Structure 1
C-alpha cells in the first residue's frame, strides 16, 4: 500500500527494524521530531503572532520549527529570503484553517506515539490527544471545527510485508473523538464491504463539517471515498486515488495517482472534477509523495525532496491543464498551509 508526507509510502519489508525505518520514512518528506517531551514549543513565538495577525504560508522547517511566510499568488512576496515569523511550534506536520490549527509531533516513550495538539487562533493549546504511531498527515476543516490526522503504525497481523496507517478525527466543538476511522461502514462500488486489511489515510473536509474525503486501501487497491460523519458511512468514488485534498470552492479534489508500477517514482499529481468525475494530470511530472495543499482555487503546494539529504522543498503548480510548469516556492520547508487574514 502506498501512502502519502507524509502518504502511504511504498511497501517496506524490514519489519524487524520497524521503529527505525518508520522514523526515517516520516522524516524523509517532513521534518525532524519535536523537541524534549514532544510538546509544541512556545518560548520562541514571535510576540503577538496569531493566525489573524500573521496570515500567509505556514510551513515547517527541517528542524521542525513552524513558520509563517508572506505569500501572494504571483509569488513575489514569497521567496527563500522573505521574512518568516516563528510561531514557536515544533511539529512533524502542521495545518491551519478557519482560526484553528493542528500540530502533530513524535511523543516520547518506549513505544512510538504521536501527540496531536489542537490550537486556537492565538496558537494556544485547546486540546491534546496521544495516539500510537508515527506522524504522517494532518488537516483542519475550513471552519476550523474538525481536525484529522494519519499515522504510520506497525504490528497489524495482516501487514506481514508492509506498514499500516491509523486515521483519527476530532470534533473540537463537541469533543467527539474517533481514534480509528476504520469503524466506518464502507461501501465499495455500491456493496457493503468488510476486510481486516482496510486502511484509511489523507482525510480532507468539506465546508459543512460533515462530509469528508479520504483514501481507503484493501487487497492491494486504493480508492477515493466520500465519508459522512452523521451516518458514519463511506462510499468509494473511484479507484487509484491517494491523498485527496478538497479545493476551497469544494468542486475539485487534488490527488496523487499511481501511474507506474513498483516503488520508484510511482505517482503523479492529478485534479478530479467532482461534477464530471473527469481527471486532469498536472504539469508537475515528478513523483509527489504528499497530500497537496490548495493555496487558492487555482494553485497547489506540495513537498518534494530537497538537494540535501533529509531535506524537502515546497513547490507550487497550477491546478488546471499543464500550461505552466511547477515553481520552487520555499527551500528547506514542508507541510504547507495557507492562512488567510482574519483566521
Structure 2
C-alpha cells in the first residue's frame, strides 16, 4: 500500500504541498504534526519499510490522542505546547481540528497495515471517529445546537441577527469534514440515524417549519453541497421537500481528473509494471449500512418530508399537529 500511495502522490505532486502546508499552518501542538510529516516524507522517499512508516504514524496517533484527552505529559510535550492543548480544551474549532489530526494519523496507520484490504480498516476507524467521538463530544454538540436554534426568517431562512464568526467557521469545517469523509452518501445511517451533520438528525429538523429553517441557512447553501427541492401539494396547504446530497467535486485543485490510472515500474520485478487506479472524488469512508436497493444501484439516501403551511392549515390539521 505504501508503494501505491507514493506513486499516486508523486504522479500528482501538486497534492504534496497541500498535505504539508495543512500540517504546518494548523494551530495544534507541533509534536504530532512533525512526526506525521516525517512519516509522510519518508513515505514519499520510498526507502523506509512499511512497518517503520506504520510505527511513525502510530506514534503521531498516540500523541494526538493525548491532546484530545487533555493529558499534559512533560516527557512528551514541552512547556511551550501547553497553550495549544488549553486551546483545544476550550475552543470548538481547535477541538475539531484535533479530531481531524487524529483521524489523519489513524487513517494512514491503518493503510500501512499488512493486509489485503487496508482501506477497509481505515474506513472503519474514520467513520467511528465521526459517528461516535465527534458526535458525542459535549463541546462540539452544544455549538451545533446553538447553530440550529439561531433565529431565522420563516420564509427565506435568513438570519435575524449575525452569527458569531467562531460558530460560522466551526460549522463550515464540520460540513467540509462530512463531505470529505462520506461524499454523496452522507445521509447513510450512522448510529441507526440519518444525520445532516454529526449532531443534527434529519428526523429532528424535518418535523416542524421552525426546525426546518436551518436547511435554508446561507452557510449550508454555500458549503453544504445539498439540494433542497420544494413542491406544493394538497391544494397548497402542504409543502413537500426533497433533500439530497450533490456529487462531490474537487474543491482544492480543479485540474485533477475524476479517475486516473497510474502506471509505475514494479520495485520487486523490473520486468513488470504496477498499475494504480486512483479515484479523486471517492469519499474516504466506504458505505456501511445501506439498504439492498441502495447498494445494488449505488443510490444515495434521499430525505422526503412534508410540512403544513401555517397560514393555510384547517381546523383539524391545527388540532392534531399542535398536540
TM-score by length of 2: 0.27
Task: Indicate the structure whose relative CO is greater, using CA pairs within 8 Å and at least 6 residues apart.
Answer: 1
Instruction: Choose 1 or 2 for highest CA Rg.
Output: 2
Q: Write 1 or 2 for the structure with the bigger share of helix.
A: 2
